[in-house]
Amino acid sequence: MDYLAPIATRAGGTYQDPVSILNLEVELLYKKVEKATDDAKDMMAKKKDAVSTSPEVAKGLDACVGQYNKATDDLAKALLECSEKKNGATVEQMLSSALQSIRSCDAVFGGKSGEKDAPMAEANEEMIDMAELGMEISGKWLAKGKAQTKSIS
């Protein structure tokens, strides 16, 4: 969660409403996935130049790029929902889908985040943590909405 500190500082350090925090979290995750996509593409380009590199690694990186593209599509939808403060359930669903896409990249290499043989393991591990945190925050948004609905009834 250290990555949230600069944002809280930039905005004066106080966020009361979970939707604002969630919007920042999703925005950061979106940027992280874009960077991971670029990194995977760079690795693929370097792997094609290296004669000793296995074709499976290049295929795996290509699969990761595809999964990351799916994740950015889902995160773009989540950002729209956050900015319009529409529906916490949709945001949670989009984050869950993005999380699955990121985990699929690890699965391509037969491992889990953090394993050394998966080229994108470190980035995936951080993105998975970010997506899970976003889902927790969206749960708070949903809980807050339910509490407000009950108090109105």
Mean pLDDT on 78-83? 89
Q: In 3-state terms, what secondary structure has residue 72?
A: helix
Residue-wise pLDDT tens digits, 22-68: 889 999 999 999 999 999 999 888 876 665 567 788 889 999 999 99
Query: Contact, 106 vs 113, CB < 8 A?
Result: yes
Q: Tell whether the model's pLDDT for residue 10 goes beyond 70.
A: no
Query: Counting runs of H as helices and runs of E as strands, what totals does the chain give?
Result: 5, 0
Model pTM greater than 0.85?
no
Class of domain 17-144 (CATH, top level): mainly alpha
What per-residue confidence (pLDDT) applies to 29? Answer: 97
Share of the chain above pLDDT 70, in %: 73
Query: Contact, 6 vs 31, CB < 8 A?
Result: no
For tokens 């989540």, the residue is: 78
